[in-house]
Amino acid sequence: MSDISIRYQTGAPQHLETRFAARAAGMLPSEIRALFAVASRPEIVSLAGGMPNLSALPMEMMAGVVNELILTNGSEALQYGSGQGHPKLREQICDVMALEGIRANADDIVVTTGSQQALDLISRIFIDPGDVVLVEAPSYVGALGTFRQYEASVVHVEMDHDGMIPDSLRAAIKSVRAAGRKIKFLYLIPNYQNPTGVCLPADRRTEILNICREAEIFVVEDNPYGLLGFDKPSPNAMRAEDSENVIYLGSFSKTIASGLRVGWALVPQSLKDKLVIASESSILCPSNFTQLTISSYLADQPWRDQIASFCELYKVRRDAMLESLEQHFPAEATWTKPGGGFYVWVNLPAEIDTKALMPKAIVAKVAYVPGNAFYADGLGSWSMRLSYCHPTPERIREGVKALGGVIKQEMKRRGTALN
């Protein structure tokens, strides 16, 4: 049994913890990280991780881009660069964002080490201990971890199959303010959300922007999956509608390669200097090498076609997952039907504790992420996130079938099955 146990917490020895700063108490391993060691065993079908699938990326082409860069411009690529990010790449990022309706000035962009670093910097600039950050229910585990480290109080706002519900946002703002607490920003992922896969429709985007503008709350729009729509393009970015009140986070992790670690923040002009100073204190400057690799790639390679190839690859996997859920999951389960991105969110009968179920799933050679990882307040115990981005369609079918069997057995054991 110890072989399949999952250790969710790894505390430091107590004598060390007394020497840490108070904020270190919020530095806890995420549920997903704790799962990785088990889920990455080759015999397990991992529907847990959100790793992009690089099998559609031609490696010879990438090798050529890197080789050419070093031979022709190695002295710049291997040198320190600008704290704000390379000017040429910032211009090219404007072209990428134009695909989602954003008209931006390259001077308002700060390049970061993945959009995760941008989340950290925004949090550092805005959050004092106890400040409220509003997020979707559920939300991205990496953002929740960052907000926790800055000692924010995270308040979840209800979603339905179309994403955040504007009336619930109004109600949340009202009740937080009635309690005399400060709201620093709303964080949301409007496109193919992590973890639910849902996409916020255009009219809700406008309504949420209006609510936040009136309430003087910044909107942090995190958009790593926006260009990964399978069936139709996603609606325009929220930033396309509001350049004053939206902090937009972008990333090349899902459209080119996550290992290059290049993301960016497009911010209202008044915030740019603070963001650059905050970034310089943590990394001096983003890597010139990976920025210029991306810049050469965007300049010389058919990157739009490459994104289309990624979409094709993920669409086939999404279809395999939805079909096999239909076939193998119990009638009592419901799940989202994503139009893009990496994830499906499954709700099971409330008696099923998906975290407690995990060891049984591992015995059946399948892994997922339990739903409560995506809540700051312990909810989500009967939900799970399944990702279809990485395994082959055959492995996805195999994994969903095995997981369906585990769930049905658990329901039978508890007497919750309808049939």
Stretch that binds ligand PMP, among 109-117, 127-135, 197-205, 316-324 (CB under 6 A): 109-117
Q: State yes or no: residue 258 binds ligand PMP (CB under 6 A).
A: yes
DSSP 21: -
Specify the 3-state DSSP secondary structure of 61.
helix
Q: State yes or no: residue 140 binds ligand PMP (CB under 6 A).
A: yes
Indicate which single residue of 46, 48, 50, 93 sits in contact with ligand PMP (rule: CB under 6 A).
50
Q: State yes or no: residue 120 binds ligand PMP (CB under 6 A).
A: no
Q: How far is the CB of 216 from ligand PMP (least distance, A)?
A: 25
Q: Report the residue number, 290 or 324, with the smaller CB distance to ligand PMP.
A: 290
Q: State yes or no: residue 191 binds ligand PMP (CB under 6 A).
A: no
Q: State yes or no: residue 115 binds ligand PMP (CB under 6 A).
A: yes
Cα separation, 345 vs 150, whole angstroms: 28
Instruction: Note whether 383 and 352 are within 8 A (CB).
Output: no
Q: How far is the CB of 324 from ligand PMP (least distance, A)?
A: 23
Q: State yes or no: residue 190 binds ligand PMP (CB under 6 A).
A: no
Q: How far is the CB of 138 from ligand PMP (least distance, A)?
A: 11
Instruction: State which residue has the least CB distance to ligand PMP.
Output: 114
For the chain, percent helix, then strand, then coil, each to nearest 5? 50, 15, 35
Cα separation, 299 vs 349, whole angstroms: 51
Cα separation, 370 vs 182, whole angstroms: 31
Indicate which single residue of 49, 83, 138, 142 sits in contact with ligand PMP (rule: CB under 6 A).
142
Indicate which single residue of 116, 191, 196, 287 sits in contact with ligand PMP (rule: CB under 6 A).
116
For residue 326, what are the contacts with CB-CB under 8 A and spacing of at least 6? Answer: none
Q: How far is the CB of 178 from ligand PMP (least distance, A)?
A: 30
Cα separation, 195 vs 184, whole angstroms: 23
Residues within the interface to ligand PMP (CB under 6 A): 50, 114-116, 140, 142, 189, 194, 222, 224, 251, 253, 258, 263
